[in-house]
Amino acid sequence: MNHLAPRLCFFIFLGVGLMLTNFSCQRVDPNCFRLELLPEKNHPLVHLRVLLRIGSANDPRGKEGITQLCLNLLANGGTRTKTYQEITKAFYPLAVSVELNVDKEMSVFSATVHRDNLEKFYALFREMLLDPGFREDDFHRLKTDQLSFLEKTLVNNMDEQFGKEILNLMLYENHPYGHHEAGTVETVKSITLDEIKAFYKDQMVQGNLIIGLAGGYPDNFPAKISADFSCLPRGFTPQLKLPVPKPAKGLEIVIAEKETPATAISLGFHHPLTRSKDDFFPLWLACSHFGEHRQHLSRLFQKIREERGQNYGDYAYAEYFLQGRDKFPATNYCRQQQYFSVWIRPVPNSNRHFVLRQTLRELQKLVEAGIPKERFDLVRTYLLNYTRLYTQTLAERLGWQIDSHYYGYEDFLGEVQKRLPLLTKEDVNRAIRKYLNYQNIYIAIITKDGEALKEALVANTASPIKYANPRMPASVLDEDKEIEIFPLPVKPENVLVVPASEFFQKPGIPGKK
Amino acid sequence: MVQLTPALLILLGFATSVSAGSSDIFPYAYKMEQLENGLTVVSVPLPFPNIISYYTIIRCGSRNEVELGKSGFAHFFEHMMFKGTKKMPRAAYDDFLTRLGAGTNGYTTDDYTCYFVVFAGRENLSRVVEVEADRFINLYYDEESLKTEAPVIEGEYYSSVSNPDRRLLELLRQTAFEKHSYKHTTLGYLEDIKDMPNQFAYSQQFKERYYSPDNTIILVAGDFNHDELMKLIKYHYNSWPRSNYLLETPEEPPQTRPKRAHYPWPARTLARLAIAFHGPAFSAEVVDKAALDLLAQASFSPSSPLYQRLVIEEQKCVSLNASFPDRRDPYLLIFTATIKKDEDLPYVEQQIVAELERLKTEPIPVETLAGVKSNLRYSLAQDLGTTDGLASTLAFYLNLRPDPQILNRLFRLYEEVTPEIIQQMARKYFRPEASTVVTLTGGKEP
């Protein structure tokens, strides 16, 4: 790729940056970047966020992992004039680093810096994104790290995440979402530095960028940034036209087999909603009732953890969820397609069959009976108050602002305050019946003795469990009698047992024809 | 001239009101009071609108687990603290927090256990104070409830069982310490976790000893009025009786020979190395720990020559880190590395040891030290940038010394540290006979 044009631009505009305030074109011209500003004049900090409207779904076939590797070279590599070592040395006294998050259709560089240090930081940050070095040694370092993550860490050191990633493979087989952001061992190995440079040239164009600024930045700073980033070529990558993902037929199960004392379970299925649809609000409320992330109010949490002490927690989500600060949702993981999911944290292997039965039985009850009136009132009140805590930091406030605009709102959280009071229990139950089901589900399980579990699932073998408490309440024991024989319609051809080490070697689910 | 510190004023029966001075790193005015029963209250009204963080800091953590078979108990008891009271049983407590839409949880560390309720709306403060006071004074649960909760801890243990870093730290502490309760992690040993269902009587004793006002700090930060807060706290917490229990942690004998241990991880993983030396307890008065903090940053942060060589240039390591946590009793100075190839483990170990030897003879450049001090100041400014960021940061320091001035004193001490002092500390603490080296390597290709 030829870097000359952007570089030339960089120097030309350096002196005249303040004069170039092309904000006016930004909301109408798709070839132009957009600014998202959130000034808080007296705030001592400034948060910068450069968002690309591309992600791992834009990886070309056979080069899965290239978006992450390319952007990581910008965030954690040198520039044309400075080595990565020089950059880390310069950043250190400022207590700042550039964070990179790559998702399916969105990637974000972000940093929070004290306003004392804004100029110094920004001078380097700008160079990292607009004039990268693409050095061989940085490329080798980051590619090796990405491969280590896929080959060793993801499969062997983080079972809960591993389970979620297998669920993603199942939900999006032969789909642009259907690989991990880090790619696969085979495809990452095949990526060359020239391919990275070409990818940068294609994707780092103005229209792909949203540039966010929040906090106590000087009045002239947006103009300065605007001038600098105007040197990128105009243009944009059209939003992906995603295929309809293949729904599960019955209970489709993949068991990743490894030596482990506990079983991690993730399950889910697609739905056609995103936050931009009206029906999202009642579905979101239903999921909060069923499994609000790390909160006691969750029905699954109450039944599995609180009543029975089976594990650390059990949650359900109406859309892709990543935990941000504390337990709040992370921002800027917007997607065109979403799914419902349940995350069952590791349970002792001896109880895995029981807990899977219990989870699906609870889901069936939710779909068939809906949400009770008192729970509807409670969860609605909860969400109205809890979402007021989502925007405590500059990064959160700016992140939510960007997400709001992506989904077509001026202020999504403000919309929550307006819409939830208007919702009825019937709205929620209608959404539950329309978008949730208990018959067609993808289920990912990380456990040992996978074949034994498969056999038990297919045969619907009874799965009673034992408690440390000899005086468990009769209501719990009575319900257990129903759960331990709760039939799961599992067909042998729908259960795949695969050694854990075979995942993420190549695109797709290993062992699947 | 005798200068009265805020802590001293409190001992003399005064309440303290402190404005931030121009040289203070802690930028907010705060007030501190102590009730007659020993409960310390720190309040920091903040300009950020509408959010209030209400923290209850119990100065009890896994450090307090000095009896055999009781490892992990402080963390287990944290779980039991959510069981409600006779006046407000668990379901009612959950219902209250749910309607409030509060961000709420607890966490347990080596030295303290912290419970927080973060919520919107100052009109909710009075009810939060009432409910939290009731919970800490009148906690009630039966043996069955304890037996049901105990396996949740086992589940929590399993949720990170596949993480080799946790295993490395467990093995390091187990090897490095002989007697002190820092020998085990906050989760505790698995065999002790499995025995938790049988510890009902001990749990009652544990509460009486440690969950008392003389061992507790209430920290409130955010959008509220101090006088109103104090009125509420005095009304609701006054009946909480003192414990007067004095914990004696076993003294760790000086280490006289180098120790080494290895953990064979059953699956493929990147190799891990941890090298530790026994270090000093936290202090904002004695310079040792402050100087070591600066040493860790100067010599092992991403800008340090060793990091740049091992991680960026030679690409032997994925990460290199020095961690000298602040603890109430003497803890460990820990260096860790995640290494790309097993065969490079000895080389990386040798390079870290060589760097520590170099620190004994060559002073750190003055400009490097200035960069470290700048980093620490700006890092803290970022931590203090939100209501809850401030509360969680301050909670940590209040556990060490129940006085917000501790942060100002610590940062003034940092300013006094010179390259020569750092050199002296390297000589004093990095003695080979006081070292513990722990390694972890993975299984072979499938």
Chain B CB contacts of A392 below 8 Å: 48, 51, 386-389
Question: pLDDT digit string (tens) for B161-205?
Answer: 889 999 999 999 999 999 999 999 999 999 999 999 999 999 999
Phi, psi at A346, each rounded to 5°: -50, 135
Chain B CB contacts of A145 below 8 Å: 318
Chain B CB contacts of A153 below 8 Å: 269-270
- Around B122, how many Cα atoms within 13 Å sit in the side-chain half-sphere? 14
Distance from C-alpha of A180 to C-alpha of A203, rounded to nearest angstrom = 19
Contact between residue B304 and residue B298 where contact means Cβ atoms under 8 Å apart: yes
Which residues pair with residue A47 across a beta bridge? A112, A214
pLDDT tops 90 at residue A26: no
CB contact under 8 A, B268 and A499: no
Chain A CB contacts of B94 below 8 Å: 296-297
pLDDT tops 90 at residue B233: yes
Disruptive mutation site among A96, A295, A502 for chain B (greatest number of B CBs within 10 Å): A295
Place B50 in a pLDDT band, splitting at 50, 70 and 90.
confident
pLDDT tops 70 at residue A4: no
Distance from C-alpha of A391 to C-alpha of A424, rounded to nearest angstrom = 26
The answer, for B370 touching chain A at a CB cutoff of 8 Å, is: yes
* Amino acid making up residue B33: E
The answer, for B147 touching chain A at a CB cutoff of 8 Å, is: yes
The answer, for B371 touching chain A at a CB cutoff of 8 Å, is: yes
Disruptive mutation site among B80, B148, B187, B383 for chain A (greatest number of A CBs within 10 Å): B148
Tokens, residue B417: 């540290």
Chain A CB contacts of B148 below 8 Å: 307-309, 467-469, 472
Tokens, residue B23: 């040289």
Phi, psi at B82, each rounded to 5°: -100, 15
The answer, for B149 touching chain A at a CB cutoff of 8 Å, is: yes
Distance from C-alpha of B114 to C-alpha of B60, rounded to nearest angstrom = 9
Chain B CB contacts of A72 below 8 Å: none
CB contact under 8 A, B155 and A312: yes
Tokens, residue B89: 């049983």
Can you give the three-state secondary structure of B187-222, one letter per residue?
CCCHHHHHCHHHCHHHHHHHHHHHCCHHHEEEEEEE
Region A244-250 average pLDDT: 98
Tell me the percentage of chain A whose pLDDT exceeds 90. Answer: 91
Chain B CB contacts of A347 below 8 Å: 155, 158
Distance from C-alpha of B67 to C-alpha of B46, rounded to nearest angstrom = 42
Question: Nearest chain B Cα to A446, which residue?
Answer: B162
User: Which B-chain residues 202-261 have CB contacts (< 8 A) with chain A?
Assistant: none
Disruptive mutation site among A41, A48, A89, A343 for chain B (greatest number of B CBs within 10 Å): A89
Chain A CB contacts of B374 below 8 Å: 93-95
CB contact under 8 A, A295 and B98: yes
**First CA to last CA distance, chain B:** 72
The answer, for B101 touching chain A at a CB cutoff of 8 Å, is: yes
CA distance A264 to chain B (A): 8
CB contact under 8 A, B388 and A326: yes
Question: pLDDT digit string (tens) for A270-294?
Answer: 999 999 999 999 999 999 999 999 9
pLDDT tops 90 at residue B78: yes
The answer, for B365 touching chain A at a CB cutoff of 8 Å, is: no
Tokens, residue B243: 């414990």
Q: What is the pLDDT of residue A215?
A: 97
Contact between residue A192 and residue A22 where contact means Cβ atoms under 8 Å apart: no
Place B446 in a pLDDT band, splitting at 50, 70 and 90.
very low
Tell me the percentage of chain A whose pLDDT exceeds 70. Answer: 95
pLDDT tops 60 at residue A343: yes
Taking CA atoms, B211 is separated from A145, B39, B77, B242, in Å, by 46, 11, 10, 9
Taking CA atoms, A434 is separated from A145, A425, B73, in Å, by 43, 14, 46
CA distance A126 to chain B (A): 20
For residue B429, give every residue at least 6 positions away whose Cβ sits within 8 Å of its Cβ, in sequence order, or none: B277, B278, B279, B280, B288, B292, B333
Question: pLDDT digit string (tens) for A199-243?
Answer: 999 999 999 999 999 999 999 999 999 999 999 999 999 999 999
CB contact under 8 A, B144 and A471: yes
CB contact under 8 A, B162 and A158: yes
pLDDT tops 70 at residue B13: no
CA distance A30 to chain B (A): 35
Q: What is the pLDDT of residue B40?
A: 97
Phi, psi at A316, each rounded to 5°: -135, 150
CA distance B249 to chain A (A): 30
As to burial, measured by CB atoms within 10 angstroms (0-12 exposed, 13-18 middle, 19+ buried), residue B12 is exposed
Q: Which residue has the tokens 């050199």?
A: B423
Q: Is A2 left (phi over 0), alpha (psi -120 to 50) or beta?
A: beta
CB contact under 8 A, B378 and A116: yes
Cα B312 versus chain centre, distance: 31
Question: Nearest chain B Cα to A160, which residue?
Answer: B159
Q: Residue A214: which H helix or E strand, with range?
A: strand A209-215
CB contact under 8 A, B50 and A383: no
Nearest to A309 among B150, B268, B388 (CB): B150
Q: What is the pLDDT of residue B18?
A: 75
Contact between residue B190 and residue B339 where contact means Cβ atoms under 8 Å apart: no
pLDDT tops 50 at residue A249: yes
pLDDT tops 80 at residue B16: no
Disruptive mutation site among B98, B168, B294, B369 for chain A (greatest number of A CBs within 10 Å): B98
The answer, for B4 touching chain A at a CB cutoff of 8 Å, is: no
Contact between residue A49 and residue A108 where contact means Cβ atoms under 8 Å apart: yes
Place A96 in a pLDDT band, splitting at 50, 70 and 90.
very high
Place B443 in a pLDDT band, splitting at 50, 70 and 90.
confident
Q: Which residue has the tokens 């600060």?
A: A325
Helix B143-159 with B200-210: angle, nearest 10 deg = 80
Average pLDDT over chain B, rounded to an integer: 93
